[in-house]
């Protein structure tokens, strides 16, 4: 017998007010406490069993702790800046309206409205620090588990994201003896510049064929240098199956051929993730989208998200979805279309219902392992 989850279903007017208040609370990475406290109170008021964990993640749940679980996970933090908070017609402006408070708010609305069979648990999780090091997502991986996961990021109401490139970030440090500028010996800054050009040549940047998602894409994100000291920080967007250990070994050898004193230091290594259209979460979202719009798109992204953390760790059905134009991410004019936000909440509600029905129909606690990530 199906029953309404023991939560107060959020109305459309309340959904808009919820997002408006969320966007109005500043939550730059590392300063999410105010928003976390607000969301914890909101979830508790809606009937969720709610708590905040050691790193500041907000977790709200409906259902027994040992039941098969659907997790809706979005991030609370934003980058700095953004336009003043305001509503202009059908648009809500403010930092985080798209990335990613709109998707997180839609998840709260959907979880409050969803029907769930007995023996299925629904969790809404607002994590910290996604814009920097995904501390919040790593904490969730270490302390929880779910049988199906939707990651909240702006995809557009009619689009399901099934993959993200990885990121490999490293520093190249150069130290050279003090020398006069008239010396023929290269300065530290010159060595660093030569390394960067050699790296571009080594990776074939600009000359690779095929889809960008399948290519290695290095970017110089920071540089500093003098005659005796220099440092470059390089961020490489990596494809599926990329061997970061072998690549870093090759990069270190490349650096040494330019100058024996050059050192390479690993800063971050997050693998790419990709599921398929046949993934149960992607299918549930796609069917719900088609019911309302008649068409659905599947996309892969060139950046990273908490899907890169959760997907490889848990190997369960997973996809990313949320309202908002991803081109608005981090922009000075960031805004979300409220009618799209409400549509996405309806689509998420239906998708959660589909997933919950599937979980309840199984005799085990698994929807099925994620398809081969190819």
Active site residues: 77, 130
- Angle at the Cα of 360 from the Cα atoms of 357 and 364, rounded to 5 degrees: 135
Find all residues with CB under 8 Å of 129, minimum gap 6, and list them.
29, 30, 32, 55, 75, 77, 135, 136
Contacts of residue 53, defined as CB under 8 A and 6 or more positions apart, other chains included, come to 59, 139, 143
Measuring CA to CA, how many Å separate 299 from each of 167, 228, 296, 335, 340?
A: 18, 46, 10, 22, 18
* Residue 63 Ramachandran class (φ > 0 left, ψ -120 to 50 alpha, else beta): left
Beta carbons of 347 and 329 less than 8 angstroms apart? no
**Beta strands 121-127 and 69-75: pairing type?**
parallel
Residue with tokens 């971050």: 268
- Report whether 237 contacts 165 (CB < 8 A): yes
Note whether 68 and 147 are within 8 A (CB). yes
State whether the Cα torsion 84-88-92-93 is positive or negative. negative
**50 strand-pairing partners:** 60
Question: In residues, how long is the chain?
Answer: 374
**Measuring CA to CA, how many Å separate 83 from each of 74, 158, 333?**
22, 26, 6
Contact, 239 vs 300, CB < 8 A?
A: no
């Amino acid at each position: 017998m199906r029953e309404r989850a023991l939560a107060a279903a959020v109305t459309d007017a309340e959904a808009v007010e919820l997002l408006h208040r969320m966007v109005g609370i500043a939550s730059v990475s590392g300063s999410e406490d105010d928003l976390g406290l607000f969301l914890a109170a909101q979830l508790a008021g809606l009937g969720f069993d709610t708590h905040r964990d050691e790193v500041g993640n907000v977790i709200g749940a409906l259902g027994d702790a040992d039941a098969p679980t659907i997790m809706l996970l979005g991030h609370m933090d934003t980058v700095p800046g953004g336009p003043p908070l305001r509503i202009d017609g059908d648009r809500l402006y403010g930092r985080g309206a798209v990335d990613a408070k709109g998707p997180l708010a839609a998840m709260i609305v959907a979880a409050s409205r969803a029907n769930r069979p007995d023996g299925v648990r629904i969790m809404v999780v607002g994590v910290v620090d996604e814009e920097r090091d995904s501390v919040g997502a790593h904490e969730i991986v270490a302390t929880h588990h779910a049988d199906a996961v939707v990651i909240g990021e702006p995809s557009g109401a009619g689009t399901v994201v099934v993959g993200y490139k990885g990121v490999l970030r490293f520093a190249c440090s150069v130290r050279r003896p003090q020398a006069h500028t008239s010396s023929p010996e290269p300065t530290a800054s010159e060595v660093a510049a030569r390394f960067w050009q050699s790296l571009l040549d080594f990776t074939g940047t600009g000359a690779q064929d095929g889809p960008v998602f399948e290519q290695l894409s290095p970017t110089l994100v920071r540089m500093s240098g003098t005659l005796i000291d220099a440092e470059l920080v390089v961020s490489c967007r990596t494809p599926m199956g990329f061997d970061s250990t072998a690549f870093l070994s090759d990069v270190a050898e490349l650096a040494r051929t330019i100058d024996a004193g050059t050192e390479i230091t690993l800063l971050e290594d997050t693998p790419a993730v990709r599921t398929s259209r046949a993934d149960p979460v992607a299918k549930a979202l796609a069917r719900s989208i088609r019911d309302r719009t008649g068409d659905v798109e599947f996309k892969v992204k060139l950046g990273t998200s908490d899907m890169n953390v959760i997907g490889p760790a848990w190997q369960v059905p997973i996809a990313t979805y949320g309202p908002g134009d991803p081109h608005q991410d981090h922009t000075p004019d960031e805004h979300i279309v409220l009618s799209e936000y409400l549509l996405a909440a309806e689509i998420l509600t239906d998708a959660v219902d589909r997933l919950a029905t599937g979980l309840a129909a199984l005799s085990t606690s698994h929807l099925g392992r994620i398809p081969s990530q190819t």
